Amino acid sequence: MISGKLRDALNKQVNEELQSYYIYLGIAAYFEEKNLNGFAHWMHLQAEEERNHAMRIYNFLYDRGARVNLLPLDAPPAEWASPLAAFEEALDHERKISGLIHHLVDLAVEEKDHPTQAFLQWFVNEQVEEEAAADDIIQQLKLVGDAPTGIFLLDRELAQRQPAAGGESG
């Protein structure tokens, strides 16, 4: 049986992952408005991954005999100064999420909850990939600067992103 403390923390993480979904959907909407459809496509897939992250935790809580209490979401920003600023916000957000996941692992160790520790390892690895993916695009955007041709080519590249296998990782 999962402890009340750990249950509440995982329940809060469901909310954090759904909040991530909402932030990425907001960034996708910003790109859509700018006719950067490849950037928007990349963000839509990212948003979908976040929903899947939330569902992983949701299902785990039910597997452990706990129930989920859905919490309110905050409205995401609607405007960014540039594509670079939008991706920098995404990276900052992922760093925050990584910290929350690490805190959950610490709590699972404290509570001697081995199934939760094992469950969370997937998220620890996933966060490394998520931070790297956002940082990679930031570096490319910095190289491109304001050059429209560079933004156009990067938009075409990001349009190639495929959904993760099983829709749950990547």
Binding region for ligand FEO (CB under 6 A): 17, 20, 50, 53, 94, 97, 130
What is the nearest approach in angstroms of ligand FEO to the Cβ of residue 123? 7
* φ, ψ at 95 (rounded to 5°): -65, -40
CB nearer ligand FEO, residue 7 or residue 53: 53
Phi-psi region of 67 (alpha: psi -120 to 50; beta: other; left: phi over 0): beta
What is the nearest approach in angstroms of ligand FEO to the Cβ of residue 157? 20
By the 8 A CB rule, do 10 and 61 touch?
Answer: yes
What is the nearest approach in angstroms of ligand FEO to the Cβ of residue 40? 17
Residue nearest to ligand FEO (CB): 53
CB nearer ligand FEO, residue 15 or residue 108: 15
Half-sphere exposure of 123 (CA within 13 A, CB side): 28
